[in-house]
Amino acid sequence: MGIEWVPARTRKANPCYFSLMSIDVVDLRDFYADRLGSVARRFGGRAIRGSWADSRGLRVVGIGYATPYLGLFREEAERCLAFMPAAQGVVKWPSARPTLAALVDEDELPLADSSVDRVLLVHALEMTRDPAAMLREVWRVLAAGGRLMAVVPNRRGLWARMDTTPFGHGRPYSRSQITQLLRETWFTPTSWGEALYVPPIARGWFLRSAVAWERSGATISAPFAGVHIVEATKQLYRAIPARREKKRLVPTLEPVLAPSPGGAARVGAAPAKFAT
């Protein structure tokens, strides 16, 4: 499915339309530098860190725009890299140290097979033209026992319905849709989380209640969280359909006798001798 832009007038008239246009990396950087982006980084990072509490000695790669959350692992991971898709653009990260970010083709990552332990997808699956191809490439570079974590907009949440944030752009997912996509690309979902129960209203007085919104939503397991946070493991053994031998419904006769001028004789047998 190609990416196309839906006019704003059409989106306002029909809220089922979603913008599938890629967001520029500068817009993503500016969002996370603002108050609403700080709230998203705070609650999203808390959920991510809760699942990946210890990354010491591991090789961690973020794909999409994962830098607001990669800082959680940079100091303790053996290696921490940020890969940003070519359609999005790239910015230097970290800003005050040697760069760990690179512009890449999301379908051809510059990594060897089974070379990383953790992959974090943020602003990635909802923006790519081919989510299945991206996940298969992630499968290739993950080591045995490697784990993937994807942060994707919730189709039922308010954040996916307002294009004032990056989560309102691209292709949102329901829980069943992301589960099916992961299984089709050889991953097994192992744990689920949600974040951003607070509505995306960038007002200082409203954001002061963000903690209460987040606690209340998590307590009652509300379905309107802004993002799904799903962790999955790499399937090492994939089912390969076996070819079944065709069964003959009607048995066939194989000739054992061949005609000859002197009468019936077995193929390859010596001529029969008669006693006189």
Which region among 10-24, 33-47, 116-130, 203-217 has the lowest average model confidence (pLDDT)?
10-24
- What predicted TM-score, i.e. pTM, was given to this entire model? 0.78
> Strand 116-122 relative to strand 101-104: parallel, antiparallel, unpaired?
unpaired
**Burial group, residue 140, by CB count within 10 angstroms (0-12, 13-18, 19+):** middle
Within 10 Å of residue 18's Cβ, how many Cβ atoms? 18
Q: Which helix (H) or strand (E) holds 117?
A: strand 116-122
Residue 19 pLDDT exceeds 50: no
pLDDT in tens, 113-142: 999 999 999 999 999 999 999 999 999 999
pLDDT in tens, 140-167: 999 998 999 999 999 999 999 988 899 9
Residue 236 pLDDT exceeds 90: no
* Chain mean pLDDT for the chain: 84
SS3 assignment, position 76: coil
Q: Is 151 left (phi over 0), alpha (psi -120 to 50) or beta?
A: beta
Which region among 78-82, 207-211, 250-254 has the lowest average model confidence (pLDDT)?
250-254
- For the chain, report the end-to-end CA distance as a whole number of angstroms: 87
Length of the chain, please?
A: 276
CB 127 within 8 A of CB 63: no
> What does the longest C-alpha to C-alpha distance in the chain come to?
123
